Amino acid sequence: MSAVDTAPGLTARESELLARVPDGLYIAGRWEAGTQDPIQVQDPATGRVIKRIANARPEDGIRALDAAAEAADAWAATPPRTRAEILRRAFDLLQERRDDFALLMTLEMGKPLAEANGEVTYGGEFLRWFSEEAVRISGRYGSNPEGTGTMVVSQRPVGPSFFITPWNFPLAMATRKIAPALAAGCTVVVKPAELTPLTTLFFAQLLEDAGLPAGVVNVITTSTSGAVSAPIIADPRLRKLSFTGSTPVGRALLAQAGQNVLRTSMELGGNAPFVVFEDADLDAAVNGAMLAKFRNMGQACTAANRFIVHESIAEEFAARVTERVSALRVGRGTDEGVTLGPLIDDRAVASMAALVEDAVSRGARVLTGGAAPEGDGFFFEPTVLVDVQPGSEILREEIFGPILAITTFSTEEEAVARANETEYGLVGYVFTQDLARGQRLIDGVDTGMMGLNTGLVSNAAAPFGGVKQSGLGREGGLEGIHEYLSTKYTLIPA
Ligand code: NAD
């Protein structure tokens, strides 16, 4: 660890915390300095560099896999109760270090401190949930139908696993993979996003403090993700690839994983429909919209992307959300009262401006926001668009920012058809007080998850994941641990 390069504008508390975050690669239980130009981590609220950390080369990635492969047999043979207790200690330590983790996420990623605290809770729940699941891995035992033998079905750890995580939820996207893998008895190499690597490094230190043996979790940070990841994925010792990120990168990784027929979990992009019927409780719909759209500054795979609102209430819905959106306070996430932080980088800001311009050129109207404010940091005004026309980019692309785009519909059939008009299928939101209609939408909308009269569905005890081009596999819930187990069947003749 080295002293932080105290950037102007950091408080003493922020500098002290950043100085405690490791800046090396974590391989086989040791922190190693990088051997090439460091990664410069920025605060997106100011654009300033807040820390420099090691930048792995491809050979560092292979050494991390060496460590995971070496530790694999001993970890698989570690009693489930011991694995569970380490996860539980990690959960407890995370609660003790809650304020540090929340502040660190706000500093490197930008989300308001209250939301960062919410992520500590959510991310921590995967540790607690899978500490409970570790001791409940079971199989089956019974006669075969012919009566000539006994069939034994057991579950084994898949083996060394490689995780690639995104920048938008720096803690939860890591714990959602690491916790079930450790519970199942797998060792791992984690590559966090280069934009927000600090939380994963800080978390690796927490795992060590919780008693995790060397080599079970290894962390490599790099600015050359493709070059470092490809040799790991091509190595025959690797047995599993789990990726959370954009659909184009997911497709490329699936192709690479095909070479060695790896088990894969893919949590990819979303384009969530948010359907509001004329019989909806409008207060609930407006609250749900604020949560589903503006949490994490709209940078969530579960963010509502297309608001599909019944024509008879569209004007009132738009007026009410506009009032709420105009009251959002934009600023650095550490500042008192801020409810909307910056976007992750300048490319994201440029992409918001382009989406608004395209929608407006096709006939949309801006009710509030619509531009990047003057000044430092990667901010974009929270925006409401109405009269968004079919064919607009904003309906097709994952927005990943604070723009609420409203279109209207007249019949239920039209609402379902429009909700499904996308290659994605992660989550859908429906607001109606008619339960039968709600059930028809749950059945008719082609997604892995649905929220009925709510704008937030994520829970460590629930299976999170998508269909279509939103991905493969589930994280969390009873299902989550099975991503890291393979089924073995044995026949014992009678
Ligand atoms: P991204 O695909 O650009 O990057 C994700 C990760 O992949 C990062 O660690 C990045 O360094 C790495 N990466 C990029 N190119 C790579 C390559 N060629 N080989 C290996 N690794 C590579 O995505 P992002 O911008 O970090 O995250 C936003 C995306 O993630 C959005 O599309 C969002 O919907 C998605 N996401 C999905 C979920 C989910 O659970 N479905 C959750 C969060 C985010």
Summarised one tens digit per residue, pLDDT across range 370-388 is 999 999 999 999 999 999 9
What pLDDT was estimated at residue 104?
98
Mean pLDDT, the chain, rounded, equals 97
Pick the CATH number of 272-459 from 3.40.309.10, 3.30.1490.100, 3.40.50.11540, 1.10.10.10: 3.40.309.10
Q: Residues 6 or more apart from 55 whose CB is under 8 A from it?
A: 34, 36, 37, 38, 39, 221, 222, 223, 224
Task: Return the domain boundaries, the chain.
Answer: 12-268+471-490, 272-459
Position in ligand 1 atom list of the atom nearest CA 269: 34
What share of the chain in percent tops pLDDT 70?
A: 99
Distance 140 CA to ligand 1 centre (A): 37
Best mutation site among 167, 246, 264, 346 for ligand 1 pocket (most ligand atoms within 8 Å of CB): 246
Ligand 1: atom nearest CA of 245 is 30
Q: Is 297 exposed, middle or buried (0-12, 13-18, 19+ CB in 10 A)?
A: buried
Taking CB atoms and a 6 Å cutoff, what residues make up the pocket around ligand 1? Answer: 164-168, 173, 191, 193-194, 225-226, 229, 244-246, 249, 252, 267-270, 301, 398, 426, 466, 471
Tell me which residues are annotated as active site.
Answer: 267, 301
pLDDT recorded at residue 9 = 85
Nearest alpha carbon, ligand 1 atom 41 = 267
What pLDDT digit, counting tens, does each position of 392-406 carry? Answer: 999 999 999 999 999
Average pLDDT over residues 25-54: 97
Taking CA atoms, 325 is separated from 101, 315, 405, in Å, by 28, 15, 12
* Predicted local confidence at residue 4, as pLDDT: 42
Q: What is the DSSP string of 220-244?
A: ---S-HHHHHHHHHH-TT--EEEEE
Q: Residue 2 pLDDT > 60, yes or no?
A: no
Q: How many Å lie between the centroid of ligand 1 and the Cα of residue 362?
A: 30
Best mutation site among 105, 164, 229, 423 for ligand 1, i.e. most ligand atoms within 8 A of its Cβ? 164
Encode pLDDT of 265-301 as tens digits. 999 999 999 999 999 999 999 999 999 999 999 999 9
CA 285 – ligand 1 centroid, Å: 30
CA distance linking residue 204 with residue 198, whole number of Å: 10
> Which amino acid would we find at residue 240?
K
215 C-alpha vs ligand 1 centroid, how far in Å? 25
Q: Which atom of ligand 1 is nearest to the CA of 176?
A: 40
Which of 176, 244, 422, 472 to mutate to test ligand 1, by most ligand atoms within 8 A of the CB atom? 244
Q: Which ligand 1 atom is at minimum distance from the Cα of 164?
A: 9
> Residue 7: is its pLDDT beyond 80?
no
Please report which residue ranges of 235-281 form alpha helices under DSSP H.
247-259
Distance 193 CA to ligand 1 centre (A): 8
* Count of beta carbons in the 10 Å neighbourhood of residue 252: 15
3: pLDDT strictly greater than 60: no
Decide if domain 12-268+471-490 falls under CATH 3.20.20.80. Answer: no
Neighbours of 211 (CB within 10 A): 12
**pLDDT score at 1:** 37
Task: Say how many Å lie between the CA of residue 198 and the centre of ligand 1.
Answer: 16
Round to whole Å and give the CA distance between 104 and 123.
Answer: 14
